[in-house]
A = this chain, B = another copy of it.
Amino acid sequence: MVPRSISNMERGTRVCQNAVMQRTRGRAPTGGRAGALSQELIVDAAVELLDERGERGLTFRLLAKHLHTGPGALYWHVTNKDVLVTLAADQVLGRALAAAPRSAEDAGSGLRALAIAVFDALDRHPWAAPHVNAPPTLENGLRLLDRIGTLVARTGLPAERHFTVSTAISYYITGVSAQIIVPCATLDATTSRDAFLDQTAARWEELDPADYPFLTSTAKDLRDHADRDQFITGLDMLLDGLNTTADPRPPA
């Protein structure tokens, strides 16, 4: 009667991240009878629906229909919708990590490549970015931070700064990605990104230059900027700062 998935759930409106980790403990998905549900199957289907229809478009009823069951069945495998979306986001992050190059000449370019790979993956699944949580508790969140930390340790930065610097980089990657990507995803079919930027730039130009000296002069730059370049610009500033701080002890 008591679904396994909420056995150690926390009270409150949100669920403890630790509860999220648990997976089906019985036989592997293929071990049951054909067509049996599993958390993996549910998360896969959720990612598909999220890609198609966004977070609001993901519904337990719709998801159940896609999986040929009733909504109640899903709750046996997944605590609730929050957890489902978090698991789905972690899956997207996992794909990004698999695609990110593992070898790098130096720590700096390794961090750069890793960050860009994550940005690109989140860019393809815009609903995911805000749900990649920190501090990480899910598998791929943990892997991401570990890879960052391992690279940071190679810079020659004093050991007592590794944690703070690594988490700062991790926050940059997921936080700035979310900022850049989410607003684009909320634009609907009738308003293209270009049209939106055009409108916004026009509004900036109409502002009073006495009040908004910068925006009025930079409105033109808004029209044809590339989101990815903005991410990379900030990233390079951050990594430059890393080198500056690390400089006293150059990489071995």
Q: Of B150, B166, B200, which is within 8 A of A213 by CB? A: B150
> Nearest-CB distance from A153 to chain B (Å)?
7
B146 lies within 8 A of A214 (CB): yes
> In the complex this chain forms, how many copies of it are found?
2
The answer, yes or no, to whether A27 is at the interface (CB within 8 Å) is: no
CB contact under 8 A between A214 and B14, given known A172-B234, A230-B171, A238-B237: no
**A233–B183 CB distance below 8 A:** no
In whole angstroms, how far apart are the Cα atoms of A150 and B176 in the complex?
21
What is the total number of residues of chain A having a CB less than 8 Å from a CB of chain B? 81
Is there contact, CB below 8 Å, between B134 and A183?
Answer: yes
Confirm or deny: A99 has a beta carbon within 8 angstroms of a beta carbon on chain B: no
Task: Judge if A109 is at the interface, Cβ distance under 8 Å.
Answer: no
- A240 and B244 in contact, given A11-B188, A130-B130 (Cβ under 8 angstroms): yes
Q: What would 16 A/B residue contacts be, using CB atoms closer than 8 Å?
A: A17-B196, A18-B199, A134-B179, A137-B203, A142-B204, A145-B214, A145-B215, A146-B212, A149-B214, A152-B214, A163-B218, A163-B222, A164-B221, A172-B176, A237-B242, A240-B245
Q: Using a CB–CB distance below 8 Å, which chain A residues touch chain B?
A: 10-14, 16-18, 54, 56-57, 130, 133-135, 137, 142-143, 145-150, 152-153, 162-169, 171-172, 174-180, 183, 186-191, 196-197, 199-200, 203-204, 207, 211-215, 218, 221-222, 225, 229-231, 233-234, 236-245
